[in-house]
Structure 1
Amino acid sequence: EATALQDLGRVRRVTGDYAEAGELGGQVLELYRTLGNRLGEATALQDLGRVRRLTGDYAEAGELAGQALELYRTLGNRLGEANALQDLGRVQTELRDFTAAADSLARSRALFAEVGDSQGEAEALNSTGALLARSGEPRRALDTYQQALRLARQVGSPLDEAHALEGIARCQAHTDTQAAITSLREAVTIYQRIGAAETATATDYLTQLEAEQA
Structure 2
Amino acid sequence: MYNELARLQDASAPDAEMAELPDYPEVAMAVYGTINNQHSTILETVERMTKQVEVDTMLKNARRDNVEWAWVPNWAETYVFCITIASQRWMPTACASLQFARNFYEREKSVKWAESYYHEILKKSTDTDKLSDGTGFRKELIDEVKKYTIEKHLYIEDSVFEYDPLVALSWQRLAEGKIEKRDITLLEHEYYEMTMKKIHPEWNHMQVYKVSAK
Task: Verify same fold: TM over 0.5.
Answer: no
What TM-score comes out, normalization by structure 2 length?
Answer: 0.25
Q: Give the structure with the higher percent helix.
A: 1
What TM-score comes out, normalization by structure 1 length?
Answer: 0.25
Larger Rg: 2
